[in-house]
Structure 1
Amino acid sequence: MNTLAKIESAPPLPITVDDVLAARTRIAGAIVKTPTLISQTLSQMLGCNVYLKFENLQFTAAYKERGALNRLLQLDEASKTKGVIAASAGNHAQGLAYHGKRLGVPVTIVMPLTTPIIKVTQTRGHGATVVQYGEKFDDAYAHARLLEVEQGLTFIHPFDEPDIMAGQGTVALEMLEDAPEIDTLIIPIGGGGLFSGMATAARAMKPDIRLIGVQAELYPSMYDYIKGEHLPCDGDTLAEGIAVKQPGENTRLVVERLADDMLLVTERRLEEALSLLLQIEKTVVEGAGAAGLAALLTYREQFVGRNVGLVLTGGNIDTRLLANVLLRDLARSGRLARLRIILQDRPGALFHVARIFDQEAVNILELAHQRIFTNLPAKGLSLDVECETRDRAHLQRLIAALGEAGYEVAPIEVA
């Protein structure tokens, strides 16, 4: 069977552009029409025109409330009275809770016991009843389906329902209306709800647009399905918002039909992208929100000269984790370093080392001596110096100066 015949005989997709257009009308006025802006700095850096859709500026700081609201608005009166339930450790929970409270619909969210306390607190703050159950999402999901039956609630899936997909698709409508020159969309994929909605709308508006899905390397579930691979799905990813082990039944049909390619990004690239967005655009995103830029950084040769649209899908990141990512980025760039210096344990040793740091105009942040837990001779010690430099070249000049003064120096590298 030829390709055209296969397409013609394929089953209809779960949603159409009309569903997305209807969703936009339905949710208008209750959702922020976030800006789509070109990033001059990223464009110059990457050799293509980079357009950013700031979905981290939604009230709940994520695009997820689009689909949640679209679904809630179509409940019958009995379902609204009884209430809804979902399993989520993140943005779907907050979007559902916020709009449920606005509409007077009781919302119950089942979260794993391992969910960060900030996400539990935020979801409760939006008026939802939070039930914590199990160590993993799968445990919470199973418990939510049990409570759905026991309490007569309506289950709302985070990605694998047509109404959810259609609501998320409104992101693409806004992007292509605000920046019709966009010829490529790079869209993060977890379960596939955002890609499904956006791809459906975008392909109808611009049939020749390139649609690229991106997943975290640790969770390549949709990538495996599309590419016929068997890469493992597990690990502690920065992009927990797209850490999904099993793609949706509905969403994978859309991704398979409409995606031009699927890409994977490493944790290091996710960290770099998140840090760049904060430094360049002065905007905070979570790991999943940085996935599109991470793909552009990794595969930049594929996008040279194109007009590329990226969705900053959310900004809900723990502040301590954000600090760690930024500090690790400073360390990789050479602006923050830890050096291990071998000294002789005698008066004045630290003074002579500190003098070299002063001569090279390097700021010392922290010192740590080690005399006991070391394999050095009894009269030797190691000194760990955490310091701040202007850039990697500045750091290399410091290391060279220490070496010329007779010191054995070893940088302690970040992974």
Structure 2
Amino acid sequence: MPTNMKELPVSVGPEHWRFLQKGKFSDLQNDSSNCSMDDSLDTDADPAMSDPCCDGENPVVVEGQRICDAQDQIRGGVIRTPCTKTRMSEALGSEVYFKKEFMQFTGSFKDRGALLALMNLTEEQKKRGVVTTSAGNHAQAMAFQGGKLGIPVTVVMPKTAPLVKVSSCRDLKAEVVLYGSRFDEAKAHAMKLRNERNLIYIDGYDHPDILAGQGTVGLEILEDVPDVDYVIVPVGGGGLVAGVSAAIKHVNPNVQIIGVESERCPSWHTAMENGQPIKCQQTIKGAKQSISDGLNVIRVGYNAFATAKIDRMVTVSEKYIAVAILRLLEGEKSVVEGAGAIGYAALLSGVLPEVKGKKVACILCGGNIDATVLGLVIDRALVQEGRMSRFMVVVSDRPGGLARLVAILAHMGASVKEIGHDRISLASYVYMTGITCTVETKNKAHAQEVRQRLEETYGEDLRWQQESDE
């Protein structure tokens, strides 16, 4: 039997590579088939569905002193999270401090604004109860803080909300209503419940008390790192960046505020381009495909947009968010969700050259990520890092064909993680088989060496699968 595949009298054309699509990573390609360009629901267009605390015609600007007062008010009701220098600073070329808001009781910074908003209700409003809309973190915070204060809480969440967040809200004794596939659909239903039950609606990223509560994160950063040069803030609806920037600029106007959002959900950029918050069509399409689910808000807050003092806005791709989650897990021993890791992702991506050699605080705003999603994200990040590779190759189905492939991998120091045969897709080639193989490699350079060696052996009968940069 020939020892070299190229000696075999067969040519495997593109039509014989159907098994390429059966692999574990086939879902890495962007699938927009379930996305719609239909306009999102607009609750502000109907007076009966609007929120008087978030009025686009008369936005509230939350001043720094209000945030300082909020810090005194919620002191003891939330965790004073650490802001510590990371050992990964040297690799980043900056002195980087992580503000670890994922250490709050409910796993995100949302505890702060939720507590302040609930504390400022009248006694009569507290008895009636509140309703809110959230993809998960704000809902958990409202459930937790409402439970402590004895205030009934109803949360309306999209059906696409992460299971870990839905389960947590129920465990915290909130009434959980799953409605719609998008945030705006859930919000419209929450407004309907508000009117039917005479509840108080508290917007999770635009209520003035929410902004003031979130801003206390900025005050704590300045207490721990008073000479900080840059503060990097994740941006979704804008509540965190608005509060943090207002607080920090109030104390030290020289600190630069950088906001970060996903390329797939650039709602703040859309607001900047139009001079006001409007629905972002790109977010409507991209939200279902983003791992930073906590930031996927179709239109940023009116009060948040009026309040925020951002010096620069950037976007990052999903691949850097995945890599950031992996590196935080390995290097910082911290489990952080996509929204929480996006600031660190901006540092990894190289879009912030101005922070080199500077003192930087990066807010890790949340850690509520499903275990199953975390596993998928780790796999994708390993691919991006060149530490896991997948290829498909046609080899002889005679004795020794597979052994030869495995021997090459062993010689190159690549560890086989998964391997499978596909004989059915090559029905015209009885003595050939398709092999799907996932291997662990050291880094991108090592992966390239393995690929080159296999290409030398199998030529056109090798297909190396790469993840798209999109």
TM-score normalised by the chain length of structure 2: 0.82
Q: Which amino acid aligns with 1:309?
A: A
Alignment map for 1:23-38 (pairs within 5 Å): 23-38=70-85
- Pairing partner for 1:232 from 282, 285, 292: 282
- Residues 123-175 of structure 1 deviation map (CA, whole Å, 9 limit, x = unaligned): 01111011122222111111111111211111111011111100000000001
- Pairing partner for 2:179 from 126, 130, 133: 133
Which residue in 1 is equivalent to 2:137?
Answer: 91
Provide closer, same or farther for how the CA distance between residues 164 and 403 of structure 1 changes in structure 2, counting only shifts above 3 A.
closer
**Residue 404 (structure 2) pairs with residue 357 (structure 1):** no
Contact 1:182 1:307 (8 Å CA) reproduced: yes
**Residue 298 (structure 2) pairs with residue 245 (structure 1):** yes
Q: Which amino acid aligns with 1:314?
A: G
Which residue in 1 is equivalent to 2:462?
Answer: 409
Alignment map for 1:282-301 (pairs within 5 Å): 282-298=333-349, 299-301=351-353
**Residue 72 (structure 2) pairs with residue 22 (structure 1):** no
Whole-angstrom distance in 2 between the partners of 1:88 and 1:12: 21
Which residue in 2 is equivalent to 1:276?
Answer: 327
| Paired positions, count | 402
Which residue in 2 is equivalent to 1:6?
Answer: none
Whole-angstrom distance in 1 between the partners of 2:356 and 2:107: 30
- Residues 224-246 of structure 1 deviation map (CA, whole Å, 9 limit, x = unaligned): 11134977223121111111111
Which residue in 2 is equivalent to 1:5?
Answer: none
- Residues 41-71 of structure 1 deviation map (CA, whole Å, 9 limit, x = unaligned): 2x21222111110000000010001000001
Whole-angstrom distance in 2 between the partners of 1:388 and 1:127: 44
Contact 1:338 1:387 (8 Å CA) reproduced: yes
Paired residue secondary structure (1:72)? helix
Paired residue secondary structure (2:344)? helix
- Pairing partner for 1:165 from 196, 203, 211: 211
Whole-angstrom distance in 2 between the partners of 1:12 and 1:138: 20
Paired residue secondary structure (1:40)? coil
Contact 1:399 1:409 (8 Å CA) reproduced: no
Which residue in 2 is equivalent to 1:254?
Answer: 307
**Residue 307 (structure 2) pairs with residue 264 (structure 1):** no
Contact 2:319 2:384 (8 Å CA) reproduced: no
Provide closer, same or farther for how the CA distance between residues 266 and 376 of structure 1 changes in structure 2, counting only shifts above 3 A.
farther
- Residues 389-413 of structure 1 deviation map (CA, whole Å, 9 limit, x = unaligned): 2223333333344445456433222
Whole-angstrom distance in 2 between the partners of 1:28 and 1:389: 48
Paired residue secondary structure (1:232)? helix
Give the % identical residues.
39
Which residue in 2 is equivalent to 1:8?
Answer: none
Displacement after TM superposition at 1:118 (Å)? 2.4
Q: Which amino acid aligns with 1:338?
A: R
Contact 1:220 1:231 (8 Å CA) reproduced: no
* 69-78 or 258-267: bigger deviation: 258-267
Alignment map for 1:86-235 (pairs within 5 Å): 86-228=132-274, 232-233=282-283, 234-235=285-286
Contact 2:114 2:142 (8 Å CA) reproduced: yes
- Pairing partner for 1:370 from 422, 440, 449: 422
Contact 1:114 1:136 (8 Å CA) reproduced: yes
* 372-381 or 242-251: bigger deviation: 372-381
Displacement after TM superposition at 1:322 (Å)? 0.8
Provide closer, same or farther for how the CA distance between residues 402 and 219 of structure 1 changes in structure 2, counting only shifts above 3 A.
closer
| Structure 2 alignment gaps of length 5 or more | 1-57
Contact 1:239 1:286 (8 Å CA) reproduced: yes
Provide closer, same or farther for how the CA distance between residues 99 and 145 of structure 1 changes in structure 2, counting only shifts above 3 A.
same
**Residue 357 (structure 2) pairs with residue 305 (structure 1):** yes
| Structure 1 alignment gaps of length 5 or more | 1-10
* 209-218 or 396-405: bigger deviation: 396-405
Alignment map for 1:374-389 (pairs within 5 Å): 374=426, 377-389=429-441
Contact 1:46 1:300 (8 Å CA) reproduced: no
* 402-411 or 377-386: bigger deviation: 402-411
Displacement after TM superposition at 1:92 (Å)? 0.4
Q: Which amino acid aligns with 2:138?
A: H
Displacement after TM superposition at 1:383 (Å)? 1.2
Which residue in 1 is equivalent to 2:126?
Answer: 80
* 204-213 or 56-65: bigger deviation: 204-213
Contact 1:20 1:201 (8 Å CA) reproduced: yes
Whole-angstrom distance in 2 between the partners of 1:320 and 1:93: 21
Displacement after TM superposition at 1:13 (Å)? 5.7
